[in-house]
């Protein structure tokens, strides 16, 4: 059997991005890292997990998932058929990781505008591996790639992270965590019994579910509140005449990034950009989704109007999750109880 061609590799990556419309839900199992979900095809001798905010598609036949079609941000992992031909033309099953790596490097070197960046020895799931980073042009866009190659129990594996050049570095910490969580198995993965659906959850009395299945949390709001549209956020507001609103967003964060780190960076931005920004009172220690959270209250002016805000912030897996309540000062106190209820009822998907 021959090792895969570059065109086959690129087609697999593009297919993963184009077909990643179906979300594979988390299975309630201790083997799943917190904040992650299965991204593994049935029959594979490994377990691959991606963050719950990413979209998984195993129907394409490739284990992996993507974060953004616009960014081209995706990861995949495949078993690669590879045998080193012997002198007699027969397959030599003693092919090594070095053989596999050399053949792969020769293949990717033919990609348009290929430029090598890094190459070093590494491990993947405790097995010896080769880790490379490079760039190439696909269509009219420059992509950067990080690939990890290994051999386990006679099988060769290729992990690939790809993203457009300007967004590549943003996800490296997340990719490091994805790689850390890769597990090789003695038996083929049988799949999750809960594929294609999320575990049912009871909606709190008097509330409704705001979020869809593409985020890591379930955000509930009072039935009387209106669900609005907001890019990359879940948004509700009190009424058509009272636009007091609550948003919930998750942000990818570097490893070890804390609530305090997030607030330090955020407050600096607020001080630089928001007129009359002022923190009111001391931070309050609380909980959100069963995680320790910190609540900050502040005011600022925009267009001659003063607003009062409340931000509740916690860490979940690789994410910083932020619930923000914004209101006119005269309406603020009227909804604080409802906002506290929203915070108390927010749950993570496992």
Q: Answer whether residue 160 is part of any domain.
A: yes
- The end-to-end CA distance of the chain, in Å, is 42
On the question of pLDDT at 183 being above 70, the answer is yes
Beta strands in 52-186 (DSSP E): 55-56, 63-68, 73-79, 84-85, 91-92, 115-124, 127-138, 141-152, 155-164, 183-184
| 171 part of a folded domain | yes
- Last residue of some domain: 150, 184, 218? 184
- Maximum distance among all Cα pairs of the chain, rounded to whole angstroms: 85
Q: Comparing 34 with 119, which gets the higher pLDDT?
A: 119
181 close to 49: Cβ distance less than 8 angstroms: yes
Strands laid side by side in the 73-79 sheet:
55-56, 63-68, 73-79, 155-164, 141-152, 127-138, 115-124
Q: Are residues 344 and 221 in the same domain?
A: yes
CA distance 8 to 19: 16
Distance (Å, rounded) from C-alpha 223 to C-alpha 204?
10
* Nearby residues of 27 by Cβ (< 8 Å), 6 or more positions away: 38, 192, 193, 194
Least confident of 96-100, 128-132, 243-247, 315-319: 315-319
Same domain, 143 and 289: no
Read off the pLDDT band of 191 (50, 70, 90). confident
3-state secondary structure of 87: coil
Would 249 be classed as within a structural domain? yes
**Domain of residue 66, CATH code:** 3.40.1000.10
In a domain, 238, yes or no: yes
Residue 3 has pLDDT above 80, yes or no: no
CB 216 within 8 A of CB 53: yes
What is the tally of helices (H) and strands (E) in the chain?
5, 25
Please report where in the chains the tokens 């604080």 appear, as a residue: 336
- Total domain count, the chain: 2
Confidence category of residue 50, pLDDT binned at 50, 70, 90: very high
Q: What is the DSSP string of 35-69?
A: TEEE---TT-SEE-EEETTSEE--TTS-EEEEEET
Query: What is the percent of the chain where pLDDT is above 90?
Result: 59
Mean pLDDT (the chain) is 84
Q: Are 168 and 224 members of one domain?
A: no
pTM of the model: 0.55
Cα 181–211–316 angle (5° rounding)?
35
Tell me which of 252 and 228 has the higher pLDDT.
228
| One domain, residues 212 and 179 | no
Average pLDDT on 193-205 reads 62
Residue 189 within a domain: no
Element (H, E) at 287: strand 284-288
Q: Which domain holds residue 141?
A: 6-184
Residue 287: pLDDT band (50, 70, 90) is very high
Per residue in 100-158, pLDDT (tens digit) is 999 999 999 999 999 999 999 999 999 999 999 999 998 889 999 999 999 998 899 99
Residue 275 half-sphere exposure toward CB, CA atoms < 13 A: 7
């Amino acid at each position: 059997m021959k090792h895969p061609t570059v065109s086959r590799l690129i087609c697999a990556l593009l297919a993963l991005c184009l077909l990643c419309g179906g979300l594979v839900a988390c299975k309630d199992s201790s083997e799943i890292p917190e904040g992650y979900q299965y991204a593994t095809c049935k029959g594979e001798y490994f377990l691959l997990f991606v963050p719950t905010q990413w979209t998984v598609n195993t129907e394409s036949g490739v284990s992996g998932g993507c974060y953004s079609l616009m960014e081209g941000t995706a990861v995949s992992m495949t078993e690669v058929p590879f045998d080193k031909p012997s002198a007699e033309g027969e397959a030599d099953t003693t092919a090594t990781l070095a053989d596999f790596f050399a053949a792969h490097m020769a293949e990717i070197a033919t990609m348009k505008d290929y430029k090598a960046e890094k190459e070093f020895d590494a491990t993947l799931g405790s097995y010896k591996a080769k880790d490379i980073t490079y760039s190439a042009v696909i269509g009219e866009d420059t992509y950067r790639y990080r690939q990890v190659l290994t051999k386990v129990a006679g099988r060769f594996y290729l992990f690939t992270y790809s993203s457009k050049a300007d967004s590549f570095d943003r996800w490296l910490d997340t990719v490091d965590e994805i790689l850390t969580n890769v597990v090789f198995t003695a038996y083929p993965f049988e799949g999750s019994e809960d594929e294609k659906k999320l575990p049912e959850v009871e909606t709190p009395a008097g509330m409704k579910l705001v979020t869809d299945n593409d985020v890591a949390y379930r955000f509930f709001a009072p039935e009387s509140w209106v669900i609005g549209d907001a890019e990359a956020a879940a948004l509700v507001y009190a009424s058509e005449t009272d636009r007091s609103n609550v948003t919930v967003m998750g942000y990818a964060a570097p490893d070890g990034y804390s609530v305090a780190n997030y607030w330090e960076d955020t407050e600096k931005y607020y001080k630089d950009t928001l007129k009359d920004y002022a923190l009111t009172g001391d931070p309050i220690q609380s909980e959100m989704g069963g995680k320790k959270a910190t609540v900050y209250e502040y005011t600022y002016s925009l267009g001659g109007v003063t607003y009062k805000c409340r931000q509740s912030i916690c860490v979940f897996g690789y994410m910083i999750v932020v619930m923000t309540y914004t209101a006119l000062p005269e309406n603020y106190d009227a909804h604080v109880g409802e906002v506290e209820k929203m915070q108390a009822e927010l749950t993570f998907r496992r």
